[in-house]
Amino acid sequence: MGVAERKERHKEDLKKDILTAAKQLFTEKGFEATSIRAIAEKIEYSPATIYLYYKDKNEIVHALHQDGFNLLMQHFSKIDFSQSAFARLIALGRAYMQFAFEHPDVYTLIFSMKEPMQHVTDCEKEWHEGDRAFSLLYKTVEECKQEGYFKDMESVGMSFMIWSAMHGLCTLRTSGHLEHMALSCAEVTSLKMDVNTLLDHNFETFIKLLEKLKN
């Protein structure tokens, strides 16, 4: 490996270290409470080094946002796209949940923090990563309509409704609220469920509701 290649690898490794440290600090302390200096101290470099790659925290959080959506799309890419559209819709939901539970810090950053989207708005940037993920859901809903589902539903609104429901389930799980609900359900009903069983139960109930929207 030549000198140029070593320098480029070092540059990329350092950028990864910056993003990893920033993600951890943003998750633990929040965006506002995290400074460039704190990120620099975590990776044992000077703040000036970070400014060589990112002009401010907003650029860092935007880079994390992009990486997060790319990771989500990797989960979606494992789906069998040869199956029926409705089966693919269910698979998208399960892949979305798997992503949220395997990478809760990333999920929180891209879907619960306002700063990444604020940066997109303030800088008038394109939101290719998020648009790509939503387009996959939208196209699947459109294909479900060809199979007889959601005939009387407008596709964009239906897509947002499905996304909102899945986001609600995942957020309740990653925030710990669903664990409390599992205990509450055990106290007031005959249902004896751990948190993952309750999640699957709620997901299956949501799928049954969608199944009823077939003409």
Q: What is the DSSP letter of 39?
A: H
Same domain, 5 and 26: yes
Q: Specify the pTM.
A: 0.85
Same domain, 80 and 136: yes
Q: How confident is the model over 2-48, as pLDDT tens digits?
A: 766 777 787 888 999 999 999 999 888 888 899 999 999 999 999 99
Instruction: Look over the chain and give the mean of its residue pLDDT values, rounded to a whole number.
Output: 87
Same domain, 123 and 38: no
Q: Of 54, 78, 94, at which residue does a domain stop?
A: 54
Same domain, 49 and 89: no
In the chain, what percentage of residues exceed pLDDT 70?
87
pLDDT at residue 215, as a whole number: 75
Per-residue pLDDT band at 155 (split at 50, 70, 90): very high
- Rounded to whole angstroms, the Cα distance separating 47 from 89 reads 45
Q: Of 39, 54, 69, at which residue does a domain stop?
A: 54
pLDDT at residue 153, as a whole number: 93
Same domain, 37 and 124: no
Average pLDDT of span 167-174: 90
Same domain, 93 and 197: yes
Same domain, 104 and 146: yes
| Pairwise pLDDT comparison (183 vs 93), residue with the higher score | 93
Q: How confident is the model over 50-69, as pLDDT tens digits?
A: 999 998 888 898 889 889 99
CATH number for the domain that contains residue 108: 1.10.357.10
Per-residue pLDDT band at 123 (split at 50, 70, 90): low
Same domain, 62 and 50: no
Same domain, 41 and 83: no
- The three-class DSSP label of residue 44 is coil
- In terms of residue numbers, what domain contains 133? 58-211
Q: Is 120 left (phi over 0), alpha (psi -120 to 50) or beta?
A: alpha
The amino acid occupying position 105 is: D
Same domain, 67 and 3: no
CATH number for the domain that contains residue 42: 1.10.10.60
Looking at the structure of the chain, the number of domains it has is: 2
Average pLDDT of span 76-81: 93
Same domain, 65 and 46: no
- Rounded to whole angstroms, the Cα distance separating 60 from 56 reads 7
Q: For residue 162, is pLDDT > 90?
A: yes
pLDDT at residue 86, as a whole number: 97
Q: How many residues does the chain have?
A: 215
Same domain, 64 and 42: no
